[in-house]
Amino acid sequence: MEKLRILLVDDHRVVREGVRFILTTQSAFETKIDEAENAEMAFLKASHNNYDVILMDINLGKSSGVDVTSRIMQIKPRTKVIALSMHDESFRIKQMLNAGAKGYLLKNTGKEEIIKAVKTVQNGERYYSNEIALMLLEDKNRIGQNSRGRKRKSVGGISKRELQVLKLISDEMTNDEIAQELNISKRTVDSHRQQMLVKLGLKNTAGLVRYAIENGLLEETI
């Protein structure tokens, strides 16, 4: 079984103990876990050890998880950091991702999602909780709407109709609602969704949303 070395960074002991319990009682992988209660301790441990994943809170008392993540990435750019925070404001999320974080989870997330995020990021992919992914999609939509005279080539052979479906999915519309909006059948909506998953080699709608964010699919002119 794969063994991962993980650093938990949070200034609240109860949070560290809770996440530690989740990680040590699951069966997907073995863990060796270190903890840090402040930014300086986190930077020191990350400097002297090679962690597979670092779970990083944004607020560390008087310090910032954004700043320490940026410092860690400067000396160890391959470090895989996942933000684990109470904050769901767009600007805070972007700050953390710009600092080099590969994922972002809210602290109210469930056990299974924390485990999935660790495995996904460890495998070299990005991971956002659904709430965060949808927020980033909304920002991309706004950027696309405010841009003028810019055209981009579709990624992965996605059709105009599929892009329309994708944008409505990002608005959290159901298949029934999308069908009514586009004047097509519910079965056709599901077909478009499945075709996009196949074309892009993805497993589920959450993965489709993340891929759309990272590749700017929602900025396509349709």
Q: Would the pTM count as exceeding 0.75?
A: no
Tokens 């997330």 map to which residue?
Answer: 109
Distance CA 104, CA 160 (A): 30
**How many Cβ atoms from other residues are within 10 Å of residue 214's Cβ?**
14
* Residue 170 and residue 218 in contact, taking contact as beta carbons nearer than 8 Å: yes
- Domain over 134-219 is classified CATH 1.10.10.10: yes
Q: What string of pLDDT tens digits covers the 222 residues of the chain? A: 789 999 999 999 999 999 999 999 998 899 999 999 999 999 999 999 999 999 999 988 778 899 999 999 999 999 999 999 887 777 788 889 889 999 999 888 889 999 999 999 999 999 988 778 777 776 655 545 544 334 444 455 678 888 888 888 877 788 888 999 888 998 899 888 888 888 887 888 877 877 777 766 665 444
Residue intervals of the chain classified under CATH 1.10.10.10 are 134-219
pLDDT (tens digit per residue) in 105-162? 988 888 999 999 999 999 999 998 877 877 777 665 554 554 433 444 445 567 888 8
Distance CA 220, CA 222 (A): 6
Eight-state DSSP code of residue 216 = T
Per-residue model confidence (pLDDT) at position 219: 56
Maximum CA pair distance of the chain?
59
Helices (H), 49-185: 65-75, 90-99, 111-122, 130-146, 160-170, 175-182
Residue intervals of the chain classified under CATH 3.40.50.2300 are 3-128
Q: Which fold has domain 3-128?
A: Rossmann fold (3.40.50)
Per-residue model confidence (pLDDT) at position 147: 45
